[in-house]
Amino acid sequence: MLKSLRLPALACAALLCISPLASAGRTGSKSCGAVSRCGTPSLRLGGNIGLRLGKTRVSIGFGQRRSVSCCRTQPGHYRTVSENIWVQGAPIQTWVPARYEWRQDGCSSVTQVLVQQGYFRTDYGPGHYETRTRRIWVPAQTVCGMGRHRH
């Protein structure tokens, strides 16, 4: 009894559940993978609508099958982006003179000795953040169904 009711129950369920979620054929490499992801039905009025349930297929035909691709290709383009970057302050070089000290040697004589040579010390002025704009290349991409998913 249960097996004899299965097919009519599936047929009734198919009639009640016909929606854009019904399966559709693909016509090209850019056609949509799943109708529910596209946001638009992949069959126009007059197309065949089919529902596959396991090994049993319940199908209602309305004429010639026509598929509509929900995908389109956006060409590559340049986009301008703004970035905040740190700009280091200008270098400031300062001369540090040599250091000398008076030292006494073993014979009790005092002589002047070089302790450290003179050198330039580099300091930096105050830095700041700057907003800089640059153009980046955005490659071509395929967008499907109102931008909800991408390939």
Cut 0.85: pTM above it: no
Residues 6 and 69 in one domain: yes
Number of domains, the chain: 2
Residues 54 and 21 in one domain: yes
Residues 95 and 146 in one domain: no
Residues 21 and 56 in one domain: yes
Residues 39 and 26 in one domain: yes
Q: What is the mean pLDDT of residues 19-42?
A: 43
DSSP string for residues in 44-71: -TTS-EEEEETTEEEEE--SS--B---E
Residues 6 and 65 in one domain: yes
41-76 confidence digits (pLDDT tens): 444 444 455 544 555 555 555 555 555 567 888 899
